[in-house]
Amino acid sequence: MSLEIKVPPVGESISEVTLSQWKKKDGDYVEMDEVIAELESDKATFELTASVAGTLKITAAEGDTLEIGAVVCSIEEGAGSQAPEASAAPAPAEVTASADQAESSSKPESTDSAKTLEIKVPPVGESITEVTLSKWLVKDGESVEMDQQIAELESDKATFELTAEIAGIVKQIAEEGATLAIGAVVCAITSGAAGSSSPKPETAKEQATADKSPNYASGTPSPSAGKILSEKGVDPASVAGTGVAGRITKEDAVNAQKSVPQPGVKKPEPVAAPAVVVSGSRNERRVKMTSLRKTIAKRLIAVKSETAMLTTFNEVDMKPVMDLRTKYKDKFKEKHGVGLGFMSFFTKAVSEALKEFPSVNARIENDEIVYSDFADVSIAVSAPKGLVVPVIRNADAMSLAEIEKSVLGLALKARDNKLTIEEMTGGTFTITNGGIFGSMMSTPIINAPQSAILGMHNIVERPIALNGEVVIRPIMYIALSYDHRIIDGKESVSFLVRVKQLLEDPARLLLGV
């Protein structure tokens, strides 16, 4: 019987893939679940496995672009006598399988209470269809407790922790760096009597070591590891795999070094005119983009192409705010337990200005303009894994102390990658502070679907004319990028002038005038 192997669904928005590499040749005998090819989409690389054991007949060629559901190859299921004729390699696998069956048949009395539970990728957000397994927190074969953290999952918006639903022994199924759809199996946990489950990890490791040479996975790199080895020019045969059944993992590939020829008789170099000599290292590195970085890139490009974005500038004399902050910062911290920074003044000033210019706080949805009677201010934060934008809810109703506490709490969560989806969605206006990195002036990009973003910059002492005299004042340039489809030039300039007035006379923030 011949079974057709087709391109599986690999994501909601993916309609076609590229057959990047065949792992087996036409006519090879393959085992069930053996990796036979690599498929590559615009988002990730996937492995195609054999659904049955049999003889492989290749239909598509390497480099072909295939639609979801297209036939890639077929596998001719044969009688038991076909396996040894095709290859001698499957024989040890059959022996192992028989041994496993014999072992399982000899254990029912002691493992009646044992059960295996598959741990799957949980739903993590309405718009999230796939995640990346960024890090395993436990080893394969390790014993875990219920609710223990076993892995970290990373989406294009946040990082999540996967926990054990039962106590038992972990069997890793997905590798670090793998892109998984919601509901995909990450690992399995086997629970049972302590006497029967505790020695299992060592037995599994010993068996994996014993079967390493005949197993098809031994010495085979994962897709990400294969790309890294290819870029380094390292032969996979020279790399010792530490993955399941000797498979070469991404970490193995990163740590692999290109073999250096042994020193021997050095051939004399011909004397010729010297070529152009370039001093210093000429190495290059290729690092796969994270889901977060890819999403940021797509969203920024979409904003540039889908909005009529432009930027207006103004300058703020920061001396009044700085004087007020210097005078009361110690008492402020003593009373509220948090420092008094510039972000609270800007957030408060923006919240007041948004009340006067509601279109700056609005957004476009289809053919309608949605006006918000509240100010949910997003604060752009540079986190270890990229730019995130947590939201301060109802900032217009907060005091300076409440805003400072919210900013500090969100910044700490961003640093530790603990922000939730809810904390990063739903903002109506964004503030970004490039000044902490030394930026003098910039044109920030709108955080869609919002219509405007305020850019803060560094504070520099500059000479200005004040009351007919030249004085030195701490000046900050501020920038407002806005969508001209919804915000007119008069409104944008007036909004920025209002923010300037409130900051240069901070008493207005307290009096609401």
Residues classed as catalytic: 484, 488
| Structural contact between residues 403 and 427, judged by C-beta atoms closer than 8 angstroms | no
Burial 251-264 (b: 16+ CB within 10 A, else e): bbbeebeeeeeeee
Measured distance CA(278)–CA(200) in Å, rounded: 56
* CB 132, CB 45: distance < 8 Å: no
Strand, coil or helix: what is 431? strand
Helix or strand holding residue 432 (H, E) = strand 429-433
DSSP letter for 60, please. Answer: S
Q: What residues contact residue 261 under an 8 Å CB cut-off, 6+ apart?
A: none
Q: How many CB atoms lie within 10 A of CB 175?
A: 19
Decide: helix, strand or coil at residue 276: coil
Nearest to 5 by CA among 72, 77, 65: 72
Secondary structure of 435-468 in the HEC alphabet? HHHCCCCCCCCCCCCCCEEEEECCEEEEEEEECC
